[in-house]
Amino acid sequence: MAERRWSKFCAGCGKRSEELYEGLCKECVLSIFRVEAGKIKLPDLEVRVCKHCGEFFKESGELADLKSIVRDAVSKKLKAAAKGMHAEFRGVDVEIEEFKRWGADAVIKLNVRFRGMELQERRPLRIKFVRRTCGRCSRISGGYYESIVQVRADGRTPSDDELISVETIAYSALGNGPRDFISKVEQKKEGIDLYVGSIEGGRKISKSIVKTLGGKISESKKLYGRKDGREVYRVTFLVRLPKFLRGDVIELDGKVVLVERVERGVTGLDLDTGSRVFLNEEDVRRASLVSNRERAESAVLMSVSGDEIQILDPKSYETVTLKKPPFLRKKAGDDVLVVRAKSGLKVLPA
Ligand SMILES: [Zn+2]
Ligand SMILES: [Zn+2]
């Protein structure tokens, strides 16, 4: 009986208590905890923010979000503090209360198990921002690269429109990783060279260009050094844009074709028969450019009779008689677009 009566009284304050935590009442546990936790000091914390890109980053230079940087910075200290007060460390929560011009006010919550109770200590923390340069930006400004994407075109020079697209595609293909950047863009007579922070980034850019503009990728790697006993390579991705573009008029073995689609060959419209034709890669290699839709001339359709039409040649002003292409829907007096092939004038579909 005496034993049971003892267990009902707190060993600290001697008060009678329904529930005891390792022999102490709740109030005694809390007051010990308050004294112990009160010894924890959290000095102002400096967090690096990049003066170029505005992102927060760790001591290592790696970009990270503010909360995780703060959590990492205070966790080690708070773990040690928990150990010192014989509490079991259960984790740290970070809440950013308010952003200021100089930094931010935050609340740190230390969660512990102390004498059998789950307790939390809340502490304000002043975060000061220091403006430095992150690893990513310093690599960019140092011209760092691991791959080069060389964009060329097959048998021609890439057009200005293509080059503008290439740059847009390249920047949007990259993610937010520490090496997802282009450190240099070099305009060349024959195309454009992009210097990329990672090999994977260069591959992503190349695939994305080909997906949108067509063409082929070939890659070659070159050993450029050793790092931690490992061979380090730089990779060059050669992106060869297709020889012909949609809207080009091309000629092969007397056949004149308006290019409609470019993908492992060319699909187009035979301008004489009006039928769809497919030219494989070997055909494409042998074919030559006649003109394109943009350079086509406007000519007057003089007459349409049966399967023949007459057109006024806009250069010589002579009347030319042609076989009526099946796709032609125009009437005499209308304007049509024509291109000059070896075999004569060809009418384009409207
Ligand atoms: Zn007590
Ligand atoms: Zn930066």
**29 CA distance to ligand 1 middle (Å):** 7
**47 CA distance to ligand 2 middle (Å):** 14
Q: Please report where in the chains the tokens 């040649």 appear, as a residue.
A: 313
Ligand lying nearest the CA atom of residue 135: 2
**57 CA distance to ligand 2 middle (Å):** 8
**Which alpha helices (DSSP H) does 100-153 contain, by range?**
135-141
Q: How many CB atoms lie within 10 A of CB 59?
A: 10
Distance CA 134, CA 57 (A): 6
What's the confidence (pLDDT) of residue 263?
A: 80
Ligand lying nearest the CA atom of residue 178: 2
Q: Amino acid letter at 179?
A: R
Ligand lying nearest the CA atom of residue 176: 2
Ligand lying nearest the CA atom of residue 22: 1
What's the confidence (pLDDT) of residue 228?
A: 84
Distance of CA 187 to the CA centre of its chain: 22
What's the confidence (pLDDT) of residue 1?
A: 44
Ligand lying nearest the CA atom of residue 140: 2
Distance CA 214, CA 311 (A): 36
Eight-state DSSP code of residue 146: S
**123 CA distance to ligand 2 middle (Å):** 30
Ligand lying nearest the CA atom of residue 32: 1
* DSSP per-residue letters across 44-76: -EEEEEETTT--EE-TTS-B--HHHHHHHHHHH
Ligand lying nearest the CA atom of residue 49: 2
Distance CA 235, CA 203 (A): 9
262: nearest Cα among 287, 275, 279, 274? 279
**Which alpha helices (DSSP H) does the chain contain, by range?**
2-7, 26-37, 66-84, 135-141, 160-173, 199-213, 281-286
269: nearest Cα among 296, 283, 248, 291? 248
Ligand lying nearest the CA atom of residue 62: 2
**117 CA distance to ligand 2 middle (Å):** 44
Distance CA 140, CA 117 (A): 51
What's the confidence (pLDDT) of residue 7?
A: 56
**48 CA distance to ligand 2 middle (Å):** 10
**127 CA distance to ligand 2 middle (Å):** 19
Q: Amino acid letter at 63?
A: L
For 110, the token pair is: 């230390």
Distance CA 20, CA 26 (A): 7
Distance CA 217, CA 94 (A): 47
What's the confidence (pLDDT) of residue 225?
A: 86
What's the confidence (pLDDT) of residue 129?
A: 97
**115 CA distance to ligand 2 middle (Å):** 46
**35 CA distance to ligand 1 middle (Å):** 15
32 DSSP β-pair partners: none
Per residue of the chain (350 residues), what is the pLDDT tens digit? 445 554 578 989 999 888 888 889 999 999 999 999 999 989 999 999 999 999 999 998 888 999 999 999 999 999 999 999 999 999 999 999 999 989 999 999 999 999 989 999 999 999 999 999 998 899 999 999 999 999 999 989 999 989 999 999 999 999 878 889 999 999 999 999 999 999 999 999 999 999 999 899 999 999 988 888 888 899 999 999 999 999 999 999 999 999 999 888 899 999 999 999 999 999 999 999 999 999 999 999 999 998 999 999 999 999 999 999 999 999 999 999 999 999 899 999 98
Distance CA 257, CA 114 (A): 83
342: nearest Cα among 245, 274, 249? 249
**54 CA distance to ligand 2 middle (Å):** 6
Query: Are the beta carbons of 88 and 70 closer than 8 angstroms?
Result: no
SS3 293: helix
**60 CA distance to ligand 2 middle (Å):** 13
Distance CA 27, CA 33 (A): 10
**5 CA distance to ligand 1 middle (Å):** 15
Ligand lying nearest the CA atom of residue 17: 1
Ligand lying nearest the CA atom of residue 57: 2
**100 CA distance to ligand 2 middle (Å):** 20
What's the confidence (pLDDT) of residue 227?
A: 83
SS3 141: helix
Ligand lying nearest the CA atom of residue 23: 1
Query: Are the beta carbons of 149 and 185 closer than 8 angstroms?
Result: no
- Is the model's pTM score more than 0.95? no
Distance CA 300, CA 212 (A): 36
Q: How many CB atoms lie within 10 A of CB 117?
A: 15
